Structure 1
Amino acid sequence: MNMQELKKNAREKMKGYCRVCRVCDGVVCAGEVPGMGGTGTGASFKANVQALADVKLNLRTFHDAKSPDISCEIFGRKLSMPILAAPITGSEYNMGGAVPEAEFIHMVISGSKQAGTMGMCGDGGNPVFYSSGLSAIEKEGGHGIAVIKPRENHKVIEMVKRAQDIGAVAVGMDVDGAGLVTMALMGQPVGPKNVKELKDIISHTKLPFILKGIMTVDEAKLAVEAGARAIVVSNHGGRILDYTPGVAEVLPAIANTVKGKITIFADGGVRSGVDVLKYLALGADAVLVGRPIIIGAFGGGSEGVRLVLDTMAGELKQAMILTGCSNLEEITDRVIYRN
């Protein structure tokens, strides 16, 4: 199987839900939520892709970075690459249902592990979503991360315990899901959290806790204050609030403030290993990939997910060779071209 075959298969299975466009930039699917698009005009989805495209790189070839090392350690686990599968749910109402939810998330978690990295499972209006994710992680020996919607605290704490009981590597909450349309449609109460509520949740587990959906410096600092081990700089793939900036626009200021105090993931618009390099150079410790993972799963199952991740890893290594980086620590803002 190659990427062309994988995309062809995915296009057929997701007909009417995702066109598997040559450039996945949110233009054609704008407003398709539920679906694969960005909310409203799709401006936030498009901003993620455009903000990354606007980052230019310095080409350097006088160096000894001939065989870059892209391995990293996340929460004590050695990974083959700084690229993880983002938490994704809603196979039926977002992706057409050709692949059942339980099969889909197992493909994501299993394919990620096969690639030497890690996948995340998500939460949604149907309890099957979270349960299927935990089951997939348990089948892979706990090699995965469970992410929960910002439900009422007692419910979140209960779900955190379930993740802990099956041996998940970490647990988190996508606080940017506070106004998610699909949750409202399915009668599931979600909402914003204050620091006291976050501290309460985090105090109930020994697992590393991730807060996903940070887009401002002030909230990054509050995440540190609340005791989170990691944040995900993310606007939820442009699916919750129209007209936010792209992640690449806000990441540098956030990294300048909390880098070293907390692990920083970046999520949004990653389509290649070059995009991964850009996010790392802007201050991320690792990145999350969403829509390409969906294409991989629908187009080729676990093998397709692995192919997507392995392809990005190869592209990252090539980009590091051409920017003079022997390892991830050498990917700094020196690789970014400034006028």
Structure 2
Amino acid sequence: MKLEEVRAKAKELLKGRCRLCPVCDGRACAGEVPGFGGIGTGASFQNNVAALKKWRLNLRTLHAVTEPDTTTMLFGEKLAAPILGAPMAGTKPNLGGVISDYELTKAIVQGCRLAGTLGMAGDTGKDAVQVLREEDGRGVFIFKPREQEKIIRWGDAAAQAGARAFGIDVDGAGLINMRLLGMYVEPKPLDKLRELTAKLSLPFIVKGIMTPDEAELAAEAGAQAIVVSNHGGRVLDHTPGTAEVLPAIAARVKGRVVIMVDGGVRTGTDVLKLLALGADQVLVGRPLLVAAVGGGAEGVKLAVEKLIAELKVAMILTGTPGIAAALPRILSPERS
């Protein structure tokens, strides 16, 4: 199987749902929620891509870096690279049911495991727990910000399945798809976050942080990790891109919590940019979703391995020997 074949099959299966544009920037699918697009004008989705594009890499070749080390540690586990599969669900409304939530979750978690990293299971309930159990817990369960007792119950189930971590994507508090289905979601104030971190045994992740003050609140609540994310531009129109807000968030909480980020990641060079801007781990969504549809776990594995290979080349050509050496010095801002 080749990635070209995976992409061709995905394009056929997703006809009418995703155009698989040569540049996946959210323009053609603006407003297509449910679907692949960004909400409203699509500005938030497009801002994720544009914010990454504004940063350029400094080419350096007068050095001895020939075999950069992409490995990293997360929750006590060594990963081949700081590249994780983002949590995704809702295949029926968003994908027209071309694959099931179980099949998507299985492809993401198993594919990332085969590539030496971790995949995240979206809010698919029993499907997520089943997949995590089948994959020896080599994954993370991200649940929607539902009622406290439901979050705690599913967090305990994730722990029993051996998951490496559990979290909630608080940016789903106003998710249209869930509201349409009558599913309750809510914002989470500090006291409710503290209750969750106190009652759950797994490392706790708060996904959907876009400001330094909320990064502080998550750390204060006892979260072990945050995800800088605007939910792929699918919940609130006109938010900044994640690469735009990441440096200020990193300046506030770097070293206190694991900083993850998603939004607009398409290549290994994008991964390196986000690491240099302050991230510890980078989540990839739409490219792995396409790979899962077109090639299952094998497709996801190939897509992640391609990202790792691109990351290695970018590290060589910026003189970056290891992940910890991905610092702002390797970047130049776009000049107007």
Q: Does the pair score TM above 0.5?
A: yes
Consecutive unaligned residues of structure 2, counting only runs of 5 or more, are none
* Kept in 2: contact 1:121–1:130 (CA 8 A): no
**Residue 203 of structure 1 aligns to a residue in which SS?**
helix
Mapped to 1, the partners of 2:204 and 2:34 lie a distance apart of 28
The structural deviation recorded for 1:159 is 1.2
The answer to whether 1:318 aligns with 2:318 is no
Q: Is the 8 A contact 1:15 1:96 kept in 2?
A: no
Q: State the Cα distance separating 1:3 from its structure 2 match.
A: 2.2
Q: TM-score, normalized by length of structure 2?
A: 0.98
Q: Over residues 98-150 of structure 1, what are the superposed CA-to-partner deviations in whole Å (9 max), with x where a residue is unaligned?
A: 11221121111111100000000111xxxxx2211111111011111001111
Q: Which moved more, 1:29-38 or 1:99-108?
A: 99-108
Match of 1:133 in 2: 128
CA–CA distance in structure 1, aligned partners of residues 236 and 66 of structure 2:
43
Q: Where does residue 263 of structure 2 map in the other structure?
A: 268
**Of 163-172 and 232-241, the range deviating more from structure 2:** 163-172
1:134-187: CA deviations, max 9, x gaps? 111110111110011111111111111111111111000000000000010111
Q: Which amino acid aligns with 1:2?
A: K
TM-score by length of 1: 0.97
Letter of the 1:300 partner, please give it: G
Task: Name the CA distance, whole Å, in 2 between partners of 1:63 and 1:230.
Answer: 34
- 2:45 aligns with 45
Partners of 1:276 and 1:287 within 8 A in 2:
yes
Gaps of 5+ in 1: 124-128
Q: Hey, what's the Cα distance between the residues in 2 that align with 1:148 and 1:295?
A: 22
- What is the correspondence of 1:118-267 to structure 2 with a 5 Å cutoff? 118-123=118-123, 129-267=124-262
Matching of residue 108 in structure 1 with residue 108 in structure 2? yes
Q: What residue is the counterpart of 1:91 in the other structure?
A: 91
Alpha-carbon distance in 2 for matches of 1:155, 1:272: 36
> Offset at 1:2?
2.2
Q: Which runs of 4+ in 1 moved over 6 A?
A: none
Question: 1:8-47, aligned counterparts within 5 Å?
Answer: 8-47=8-47
Paired AA for residue 191 in structure 1? E
CA contact (8 A) 2:156 2:201 kept: no
Q: Secondary structure at 1:45's aligned position in 2?
A: helix
- Contact between 2:71 and 2:78, CA under 8 Å: does it hold in 1? yes
- The 8 Å contact of residues 297 and 305 in structure 1, kept in 2 or not, is answered as yes
Identity between Structure 1 and Structure 2 (%): 52
Shift of 1:96: 2.1
Q: Is the 8 A contact 2:87 2:119 kept in 1?
A: yes
Equivalent residue letter for 1:194:
P
In the aligned structure 1, how far is the partner of 2:303 from the partner of 2:125?
24
Kept after mapping to 2: 8 A contact 1:16/1:96: no
CA shift for structure 1 position 313: 0.2
What letter matches 1:207 in structure 2? L
Paired with 1:252 and 1:55, the residues of 2 have a C-alpha distance of 12
Given residue 56 of structure 2, which amino acid in structure 1 is its aligned partner? K
